[in-house]
Amino acid sequence: MKKKKPDHIPLESLFKDDSFLRHAEFLFHYEERDATDPRLKLAILGELARNAGENVRKKDSRREQASSGGKRTGEARKQAAEKSHQNIANDARQLLQSGKAPHELAGILSPKHSLTKTQIRNILHETGVKPKKRK
């Protein structure tokens, strides 16, 4: 299931370290300090807007990089797993040819490949070496 991107980013996450708290506190106490200078308030609001815009772009960029990196890692793992599954299937076929019973395969291959018996059985079913039991 694909996760939906959030529609908003919390304002606190837009500012590095405690800069958000400093700006918010300053704006909160602005009227107490100097209500006569509207240029000061505009300058602070402009700085807040610049910081917010820049940090949103950085967060979006990081999110996209992490997503693409995760997809590449997933593909690499999938390819490695396919090779491993083929090795397990080949080992199982050799054991069958040497006279081992199908129900013994998981117990023999499990320690060799450092997987559980259930994982080995599932791989053997997926690769078609051992048919699934019918209920």
Q: Residues 26-68: pLDDT tens digits?
A: 665 655 555 566 777 677 677 777 777 777 788 888 888 888 8
**pTM to 2 decimal places:** 0.50
- How far is residue 14's CA from residue 23's CA, in Å, rounded to a whole number? 12
Instruction: Answer whether 127's CB lies under 8 Å from 95's CB.
Output: no
Residue 9 reports pLDDT greater than 80: no
User: Which pLDDT band, with edges at 50, 70 and 90, does 105 fall under?
Assistant: very high
* Structural domain range at position 67: 15-127
The residue behind tokens 């006569």 is 36
Per-residue model confidence (pLDDT) at position 65:
86
**Is 7 inside any structural domain?**
no
Residue 131 reports pLDDT greater than 80: yes
What is the average per-residue pLDDT within 11-27?
58
Instruction: Kindly write down the DSSP assignment for every residue of 96-127, as one continuous string.
Output: HHTT--GGGHHHHHHHHHT--HHHHHHHHHHH
Instruction: Answer whether 54's CB lies under 8 Å from 75's CB.
Output: no
In the chain, how many domains are there? Answer: 1
